[in-house]
Amino acid sequence: MTPSTSTAPTLALIAPGGMGAALAARLSYFGAGSILTNLEGRSQATRERAAATNMVHATYADIVARATCIYSVVPPSDAFATAQSVVDAYKSTASDRSLIFVDCNAVNPESAKQLAALFEGTRITFLDGAIIGTPPTDTFNPAIYVCADPKDAAVLDDFTAMSIKYGLNVVPLKGKDAKIGDASAVKMAHAVCIVKGTIGLFTTMILAANASSPSTAEGLLHALNFSQPTFVDQIIRLMPPMPQKAYRFVREMEEVGAFVGESAGSRTYEGISEIFARVAESQEHPVPGGDVELLMNFVEEAQKLRAEK
């Protein structure tokens, strides 16, 4: 693709994590220029990541005064605080300018509606978004599903056209009865319920097998390779990056439990949330023979086994 060189609106993206920084880099490359972000209280590593992807620090007051659109790409546990910071800054500056706030976080539909309510009484249009896929690369561009309140359909169209112009793969949800919460429901059903839920089940079975004995874990791997080789391939692909993200998955499982509702299904995701919390603890405080080491050893053996096929 050829990057755009036309005059761009001022965009903001909070915050420069792995996904956020990669999206900012793509926006910038395709002509959006420097991307505003807020780096207050962030680590040196985060600041360096922001600088490397053409993100520049701005206060929330500066962001609401300058930005046309704000993308929120934060852990779900930070979604409300981020939205509230934007609303507070907007109200404290007595601003009446129009702008767009797009929540792209893994929250359930009811949470998305509660987030939208924070912006009532302002001229900030709230859009509900969901990112499906890994951070963008030269060969992959994740899909961003976005929906709006029916009265904001024109804003959704403008946002979609702008985001596509600057390199993002935005898919507007405009079908019958489309509303706030629909994009979050896609995220819950696809990425959290199915993909991350599957990772959680893999994690559970691997750790349970190891708790029985190393020979049980070895037998599990060979049984999977014999009866369900595609599962082994998925473990090899999905498991290695999981420990570093496990702390985020804890809250995402809580969100999907609320999405599933009062049922046995919601209790399933409560259990998976606990598994991810356990892995997050092992990642933060590693010990020999700990959960992360056991999981990575399983992946290593799986890679060897599949190489023999």
Q: What is the pLDDT of residues 243-295, one digit of tens each?
A: 999 999 999 998 888 888 776 678 888 999 999 999 999 999 999 999 999 99
Average pLDDT of the chain to the nearest whole number: 94
Architecture of the 11-180 domain:
3-Layer(aba) Sandwich (3.40)
Distance (Å, rounded) from C-alpha 259 to C-alpha 34? 36
Residue 103 contacts residue 126 (beta carbons within 8 Å):
yes
Judged against a pLDDT cut of 60, whether residue 14 lies above it is answered with: yes
Q: What is the pLDDT of residues 71-119, one digit of tens each?
A: 999 999 999 999 999 999 999 998 889 999 999 999 999 999 999 999 9
> What is the dihedral sign for C-alpha 22, 115, 106, 291?
positive
> Which of 168-177, 183-192, 240-249 shows the lowest mean pLDDT across its residues?
183-192
pLDDT at 12: 98
Measured from the Cβ of residue 280, the count of other Cβ atoms closer than 10 Å reads 21
Confidence of residue 7 (pLDDT cuts 50, 70, 90): confident
Class of domain 188-307: mainly alpha
Confidence of residue 5 (pLDDT cuts 50, 70, 90): very low
Report which residue type is found at 165.
K
Distance (Å, rounded) from C-alpha 164 to C-alpha 167? 5
Where do the domains of the chain lie?
11-180, 188-307
